[in-house]
Amino acid sequence: LGLTKMDANIDATMLFSADSRLLVAADSAGHIAVWDVPGSRLVTNFVANPGLTGLLGSRFLKDGSVLLSWGEDNLVREWDTTSWKELKHWPLIQGASLEHYPRCASSSQGLIAVRQTGTKGVQLFEASNPLIRRELAAPTWTSAITFSPDGTALAGACEDGTLAIWDTRKLERIASMHD
């Protein structure tokens, strides 16, 4: 497998589909290459952020029928994995532009968490309804976030060394760990 139409010197992220048949390689210049792993062939490649640079992440949803991608243009794009056409897009961070790299996480259940540099709170929303956002309070700014495999918990690493864990259903912090 190779990164066709992608610059090998640019940071890239990679993501398998749940059945491990597809491999998505996305680079920080905004390119996406999709590979059929068993067939060792390129399925498609395209520019996810036309005219802009900076693809920050991606995630398969809905049993692999949808791919989400998000980038420095402050947009989350939803791609149909049959046609590889964009279905819709919406703002990653509501009411703000990206001044610095946001911290993002997504669950296979369609939850997305995002934290803008310089803010303490973490926005939590569902890909199916991105306009309704919920805020999770963090003790200090959060440098990394990730979901549990079932999407019911979100962990964040805070600048003061605290690891915070939130219940994503109750929207409350359930644990705070510090060494």
Cα 57 to Cα 6, 102, 151, 162, 179: the distances in Å are: 15, 11, 17, 25, 30
Nearest by Cα to 162 from 176, 172, 175: 176
Distance CA 38, CA 63 (A): 18
Q: What is the percent of the chain with per-residue pLDDT over 90, rounded to a whole number? A: 14
Order of strands, sheet of 129-136, starting from the edge strand that comes earlier in the sequence = 103-106, 111-115, 122-126, 129-136
CA neighbor of 125 nearest in space, from 137, 114, 138, 141: 114
What mean pLDDT do residues 145-156 have? 86
The pLDDT assigned to 39 comes to: 95
What pLDDT score was predicted for residue 1?
40
User: What's residue 141's pLDDT?
Assistant: 67
Tell me the torsion sign for CA atoms 110, 23, 79, 105: positive
pLDDT (average), residues 50-58: 66
Mean pLDDT, residues 29-54? 82
Residue 56: pLDDT above 80? no
Per the model's pLDDT, the better-predicted residue between 50 and 25 turns out to be 25
Model pLDDT, residue 136? 82
- Stretch (H or E) spanning 122: strand 122-126
Residue 93: predicted pLDDT: 72
Pick 10 or 171 by higher pLDDT: 171
- DSSP one-letter code for 121: -
Q: Which amino acid is at 72?
A: E
What type of residue sits at position 84? Answer: W
* Amino acid 36: pLDDT: 94
Distance between CA 134 and CA 137 in Å, rounded?
Answer: 10
Segment 126-135 mean pLDDT:
82
CB 12 within 8 A of CB 28: yes
The 8-class DSSP code of residue 62 comes to G
Residue given tokens 């791919």 in the structure block: 67
